[in-house]
Amino acid sequence: MYVIQTLVTIQNMKSVLDKTERILRLRNYSPKTQRVYLGYIKDYITFSKENEIINKQKAIEEFLLDKHKRKQSPQTINLALNAVKFLYAEVLKDPQKINLKLAKRDKKLPIVLSKVEIEKIINATDNAKYKLMISLGYACGLRVSEVVALHVADLGIDELVVHIKGGEG
C-alpha cells in the first residue's frame, strides 16, 4: 500500500489533520490527547514524505525507530504509535491492521521523600496559599493540575474529603 502518496493525493495534510481533529473531538478525547495525536500524525506524514517511504509498515517502523534514535522514552514512542494507528484505523478507514507491538516500558521505582524533605519543601515558601497547595497536594497524592484546579467548594472540611473533578487516576 502506498502510504503517503495516498494521503497526499487524496487529501492534503491540512484536511487530514482537520478530519482527525473532528473525529478526536467527536470521540471526546481530551484536548491534550488531541493536540499530541495531531502533532504525531503531522510528524509522521512529514517524516514519510521527506524520506519518500511508500510502504505503510516500513514508514511506521522507520518513524518509530527515528524516535528511538532520538532517545525518546518508550511511553512517547507508544503514544506516537497509537496516534498513527488512530490515523489509519479511524481517519483513513484502512482495513489493514498495523502489526506492531508497543515499546517495552522502563520499570522505575518511585522516588519517596522523607518527612524531613517534605517539611523542607513546604517550609521553603513563605506564601500561605502555596504552602497550603503543596501540603494538600502531598497529603492527598494529587497531581499539580488537580491542585491548581481545586476550589474552596471542592473541600469538604467536615467530612475531611477533597472532591477532584476531571482527575486522571
* Domains observed in the chain: 3-91 (1.10.150.130), 115-162 (no CATH)
Instruction: Cite the DSSP H helix spans in 27-73.
Output: 31-50, 56-69
User: What tens digit of pLDDT does each residue of 52-88 get?
Assistant: 888 888 899 999 999 999 999 988 999 999 999 999 9
pLDDT at 158: 87
Quote the Cα angle for 136-31-7, to 5°: 150
pTM higher than 0.95 for the full model? no
pLDDT at 1: 45
Q: Write down the residue that cell numbers 496516534 correspond to.
A: 83
Q: Write down the residue that cell numbers 532517545 correspond to.
A: 71
Question: For all residues of the chain together, what is the average pLDDT?
Answer: 85
Those residues of the chain that have pLDDT short of 70 are: 1-11, 167-169
